[in-house]
Amino acid sequence: MKLNLLSCDAQRPDKRAIAKCIAEVSSSISESLANELTDILLEGDAVDIEVHDKNSGSALRSLRKLSIDYEIIE
């Protein structure tokens, strides 16, 4: 499943938690790339990631918990 992470609406976003979440739920993103994608997301730009299908439900819950808006592409 492909997701487009649109924005983070948290008043004080936790960059480490967001990067860790991205690295855990995505299929091929390292921790360093997750940190870069987190910075891009928090600057206001959208980020595309691919999620393992078996983890899709928990991934979406984790993103909602971190106040990240997303849209499902595929």
Looking at residue 28, its pLDDT comes to 84
Looking at residue 40, its pLDDT comes to 95
pLDDT at 74 over 90: no
Residue 60: is it exposed, middle or buried by C-beta count within 10 angstroms (0-12/13-18/19+)? middle
At 13, is the pLDDT very low, low, confident or very high (cuts 50, 70, 90)? very high
Report pTM.
0.89
Q: Tens digits of per-residue pLDDT, 14-34?
A: 999 999 999 988 878 999 999
SS3 call for 13 = coil
H/E segment holding residue 72: strand 68-72
